[in-house]
Amino acid sequence: MRSNPRITYSPAYTVIPTYECFNRCSYCNFRKDIGSGTKLTLADARKTLTELSLTGISEILILSGEVPLDSTLRQEWFARIRELCELALSLDLLPHSNVGILSWDEMRQLKEINVSMGLMLEQITPKLLSTVHKQAPSKRPELRLQQLAWAGELKIPFTTGLLLGIGETAVDREKTLEEIASLQQSWGHIQEVILQPHSQGTQQSYEQSEFNLTQLPEVVAIAKKILPDSITIQIPPNLISQPKLLLECLEAGARDLGGISPKDEVNPDYPHPTAESLRRILEPEGWQLITRLPVYPQYLSWLSDSLRSKIERRQRA
């Protein structure tokens, strides 16, 4: 019998304030050009979230294209993110924002209305600034690392991760994992590290081959060695096409399958599996799939009384 057969996932729904983004990462299948008019209205969000509040979904992932810190559009963009977080909370849904680079004050404000937050570190090697991140100003490694450190100082339960197969080497991956481990040693705020394989999409301009999925169990095993036990390793099941590989990743140390929602907005060409279909893969092999909230129990004391009361109501629902 397995000593720890539990594999977790979060029943989630993704809300997009805007797809417009000033970054142009060549592998991106999410962004739209600035000025394309793809902004979510609060009325539409209220209708959707009100309907979701009657379902088993608990996590509202607020995922946005990025606006420059000095843009005249910044105040309106940030106000809409705040409104969406507050709307979710008013319906006893739990917001988790992943909206790109924030100022210290913006991050401090969002801490009060999010049960957790996130930002992909991707890779810390600067060589990607001349390739896939050549037109992505906010993907500078020092900026991303600063964001993770600020989240630690502010005691924000945090998710980060690596994007695999975008031109990095195995050594680059290890160095990125080591940076995350160092941040965790300093602050202890990182709940999860996502190991996300780059998968070809229909909107990207990146023409290199996608990540070789057969390497993923090995990457999971390396991450397990480098990262402290306080960090859960997460893998996205919709990007792992073969059940055998998914099971091998679990054997190597992955323990979470992330937010499972009707659509993967970052990888729209790869639909999420249902929890039922995952159980049919996992349970015959001795794994138990269970739901979790977007904040891990060990971080509840970091949250305000009002956020903890929302979590308690969700747990009773």
Give 135-179 as a 3 state SS string. CCHHHCHHHHHHHHHHHHHCCCCEEEEEEECCCCCHHHHHHHHHH
d(CA 245, CA 54): 35
Q: Residues for the chain: how many in total?
A: 317
The answer, yes or no, to whether residue 241 has pLDDT greater than 70, is yes
Predicted confidence at residue 2, as pLDDT, reads 66
Predicted confidence at residue 202, as pLDDT, reads 86
Using alpha carbons, list the distances in angstroms from residue 216 to 56, 69, 166, 210.
31, 35, 14, 12
Predicted confidence at residue 317, as pLDDT, reads 64
**Two tokens at 62?**
């607020």
Write down the residue that tokens 């100082």 correspond to. Answer: 153
Give 213-229 as a 3 state SS string. HHHHHHHHHHHHHHCCC
Predicted confidence at residue 286, as pLDDT, reads 95
Amino acid occupying residue 202: T
Q: Across the chain, what does the average pLDDT equal?
A: 95
How many structural domains comprise the chain? 1
In-domain check, residue 1? no
In-domain check, residue 81? yes
Are the beta carbons of 121 and 176 closer than 8 angstroms? yes
Is the CA virtual torsion 98, 101, 106, 111 positive or negative?
Answer: positive
Q: Which helix (H) or strand (E) holds 20?
A: none
Q: What range does the domain containing 279 cover?
A: 6-316
Predicted confidence at residue 54, as pLDDT, reads 85
Could you give the dihedral angle defined by the CA atoms of residues 247, 250, 256 and 258, in that order, rounded to the nearest 10 degrees?
A: -40
Tens digit of pLDDT for each residue in 76-92? Answer: 999 999 999 999 999 99
Q: Which residues pair with 233 in a beta bridge?
A: 193
In-domain check, residue 212? yes
CATH code for the domain in which residue 275 is found: 3.20.20.70
In-domain check, residue 146? yes
Predicted confidence at residue 257, as pLDDT, reads 98
The values of phi and psi at residue 54, to 5°, are -95, 5
Predicted confidence at residue 239, as pLDDT, reads 97
In-domain check, residue 303? yes
Predicted confidence at residue 208, as pLDDT, reads 75
